[in-house]
Amino acid sequence: MTSRGLYFVQSAATVLVALAGTVRGQDITPAATAWVQRLLRAADPPAISMAVWSSRQDLPPASYFRSPFVWTGARVDLTGKAVWNSFNGGFGTTAISPLHVIYANHVSGLYPVGTIIRFVTRDDEPVERIVRLSARIGDTDINLSSLDVPLPGTIHWFKVMPEHWFLQSRHQAPGTVGRLPCVIMDKNTGSVAVKDIAGFYPGFFTTQTPVDPLRRRFTLELGSGDSGSPMFILLRGELLLDGIYFTRQGGPEVSSSIRLLDAAMQGSGCQVTVADLGSLRLHQ
């Protein structure tokens, strides 16, 4: 995306954020912020880090050992983010059903049919599945691939935030702890980190480095090869998928493509599971 295009996205996002203040209903911002801040405060000792693994070996014989010091702790399930694939080893891949994963369409040529995608259970057991079919979702930078065999229950596929959920969010000014945080993972799940949401444009999100000092201790900048890395909202201890990265600043919202994803999944027996926000449910 060109810098001009990104500017347009951010400018339009400012308009939508202003409109969000007119939507009635309980605000999602305090609840999402509280979960992140609670985990970060508990992780404040210096020994806690963003590293998911204390050791890992991607090439055969594959072995993985989760770090007991990652700031998300044991409650937050990260297993639905793939750690490796047989074609190029990297890029972000995220499970959204037992039979489906998504990643950035502009790297879809790096996931040909027959590619092995590896996940790791909470007990550090590798789980491998093979790409069977692949398709771009509409005109977005989202690609959906179906797997040869359903993932086991030990791999947590992610629910997706409801469409237009951000209209239920009050974006406070930069520099305040109340600014809405999100959780991201890099291409091979080496790290799990925090960013602040900068704004929304229809079908697109942008993020920025947190202003809050505590969050800044647990942030990272995405780089080359991180395309497709997921962006989550953390609520009630659960990561809810909202988007995947196209540039270092943001990317397409998965939540804006739920109907297209369901259509592409037709006949598989699976569909997108939309998160129930409970008392934070969107008001139509």
Q: Does residue 279 lie within any of the structural domains? A: no
Q: How far apart are CA 181 and CA 175, in angstroms?
A: 12
Provide the Cα torsion 162, 166, 170, 175; round to 10°: 120
pLDDT at 46: 65
Encode the chain (284 residues) as per-residue pLDDT tens digits: 333 333 333 333 333 333 333 344 567 888 888 889 989 888 766 668 899 999 999 988 999 999 999 999 888 999 999 999 887 766 678 999 999 999 888 876 667 889 999 999 999 999 999 999 999 999 999 999 999 999 999 999 999 999 888 776 665 544 454 578 999 998 767 899 999 998 887 788 889 999 889 899 999 888 777 787 899 999 989 999 999 988 878 889 999 999 999 999 999 999 999 998 876 654 33
Q: Is 255 domain-assigned?
A: yes
In a domain, 283, yes or no: no
Q: Does a structural domain hold residue 280?
A: no
- Tell me what pLDDT residue 89 has: 66
In this prediction, residue 137 carries a pLDDT of 94
99-113 pLDDT, tens per residue? 999 988 887 666 788
**Residue 112 is assigned to a structural domain of this protein:** yes
pLDDT of residue 15: 34
Alpha carbon of 252 to those of 16, 35, 202, 212: distances in Å? Answer: 16, 24, 9, 25
Cα 157–Cα 158–Cα 162 angle in degrees, nearest 5: 150
Residue 208 lies in a domain: yes
- The predicted structure's pLDDT at residue 157: 97
Quote the domain boundaries for residue 52.
3-271
Let me know if residue 284 belongs to a domain.
no
pLDDT digits (tens, 9 = 90+) for 41-97: 887 666 688 999 999 999 889 999 999 999 998 889 999 999 998 877 666 789 999
Q: Cα–Cα distances in Å, from 68 out to 22, 47, 75, 183?
A: 43, 10, 12, 18
Q: Is 257 within a domain?
A: yes
Cα distance between residue 95 and residue 73, in whole Å = 21
Query: Can you give the CATH number for the domain in which 111 is found?
Result: 2.40.10.120
Structural domain count, the chain: 1
Type of residue numbered 184: I
